[in-house]
Amino acid sequence: EVQLVESGGGLVKPGESLRLSCAASGFTFSDYSMNWVRQAPGKGLEWVSSISTSSAYIYYADSVKGRFTVSRDNAKKSLFLQMNSLRDDDTAVYYCATENDPGEFDYWGQGTVVTVSS
């Protein structure tokens, strides 16, 4: 059974940093591109970042470019999102998701909540 478990969320002040993790199991992690998608309270889905299987290709939404860094450790079957210079509008549930074909996310984690507030 495919499982994605996010962790690392919490309450931080504007300008602070947070590192999210996503632990994968039940599939060959190194075979899949991985993504982060977020959802602000009461709002829709927003793609945040993607990373290819070998980390050769990494992309970010304009809203997080220069502040967020995605990485992965295939040996540990883990995905990460380093979030720096956090802003109020980064408040959201952050989901990790597997990418079967470009833009098609077939498995999602349960999400981790990030709240940025002074």
**Gap between the Cα atoms of 14 and 21, Å rounded:** 20
**Residues making contact with other proteins (CB under 8 A):** 35, 37, 44-47, 49-50, 59, 61-62, 95, 100-111
Show the tokens assigned to 72: 């992965």
State which residue, 31 or 101, has the beta carbon closest to other proteins: 101
State which residue, 3 or 16, has the beta carbon closest to other proteins: 3
State which residue, 23 or 45, has the beta carbon closest to other proteins: 45
Q: Shortest Cβ distance from residue 13 to other proteins (Å)?
A: 27
71 CB-contact burial (10 Å; exposed 0-12 / middle 13-18 / buried 19+):
middle
Q: Shortest Cβ distance from residue 31 to other proteins (Å)?
A: 17
Q: Which of 66, 69, 68 is nearest to 55 (CA)?
A: 69
Q: Shortest Cβ distance from residue 93 to other proteins (Å)?
A: 8
Q: Shortest Cβ distance from residue 28 to other proteins (Å)?
A: 18
